[in-house]
């Protein structure tokens, strides 16, 4: 398998060899590592996803987190799997086990800012930011969410009320609280 992996023309043969090894020994971590590299070279994202999930059952916590972050990245990337909802769920699973994982937090913030599924991403991100006491970041994320909420005034008013509560309580900023309430008053 290693010899075949080194030759670009024999990647399919190498994959076949390593998959056969996994049939004999499903816990062969080296075979999974080799398949990880081969599927990445071939840009075979679905099979790579399967390999990463199988590796997670065999590795320590740090390696599990790394694999989970890669899974989320595959789902996020428009050139790979491009499935934002699955990416959000992958980040949720990662943050359930490692709420301090900053790359996942940053990725969710990017999803809030750039994707249509921002409400789902924010639902995962909000409790993590609250847990860390990152209220300024939370305020910024609320601003992004509020600025992208559509024509439903009830949803936007609810968001603005939550922002006012955050500003008045955790941020101790009555001016921001009043501003959020004023924006809500215009809508309702």
Q: What is the mean pLDDT of residues 157-180?
A: 96
Nearest to 161 by CA among 149, 147, 146, 141: 146
Q: How many CB atoms lie within 10 A of CB 12?
A: 11
Model confidence pLDDT, tens digit, residues 93-105: 999 999 999 999 9
Q: What is the rounded distance in angstroms from the CA atom of residue 22 to the CA atom of residue 179?
A: 60
Compute the average pLDDT of residues 152-178. Answer: 95
Distance CA 44, CA 33 (A): 15
Tokens of 92: 């949720």
pTM for the predicted model, two decimal places: 0.89
Q: What is the mean pLDDT of residues 85-97?
A: 98
pLDDT at site 182? 96
The pLDDT tens digits for 124-157 are 999 999 999 999 999 999 999 999 987 788 999 9
Query: Rounded to whole angstroms, how far apart are CA atoms 4 and 1?
Result: 5
The two structure tokens encoding residue 108: 């969710």
């Amino acid at each position: 398998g290693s010899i075949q992996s080194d030759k670009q023309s024999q990647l399919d043969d190498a994959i076949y060899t390593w998959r056969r090894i996994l049939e004999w020994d499903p816990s062969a971590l080296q075979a999974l590592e080799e398949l990880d590299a081969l599927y990445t070279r071939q840009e075979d994202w679905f099979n790579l996803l399967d390999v990463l999930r199988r590796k997670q059952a065999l590795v320590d916590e740090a390696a599990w987190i790394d694999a989970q972050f890669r899974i989320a990245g595959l789902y996020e990337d428009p050139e790979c799997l491009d499935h934002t909802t699955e990416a959000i769920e992958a980040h949720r699973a990662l943050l359930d086990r490692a709420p301090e994982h900053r790359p996942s937090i940053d990725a969710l913030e990017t999803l809030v800012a750039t994707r249509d599924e921002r409400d789902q991403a924010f639902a995962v991100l909000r409790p993590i930011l609250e847990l860390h006491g990152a209220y300024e970041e939370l305020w910024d994320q609320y601003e992004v969410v509020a600025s992208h909420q559509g024509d439903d005034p009830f949803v936007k008013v609810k968001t603005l009320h939550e922002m006012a509560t955050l500003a008045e309580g955790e941020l101790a900023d009555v001016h921001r609280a009043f501003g959020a309430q004023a924006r809500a008053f215009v809508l309702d």
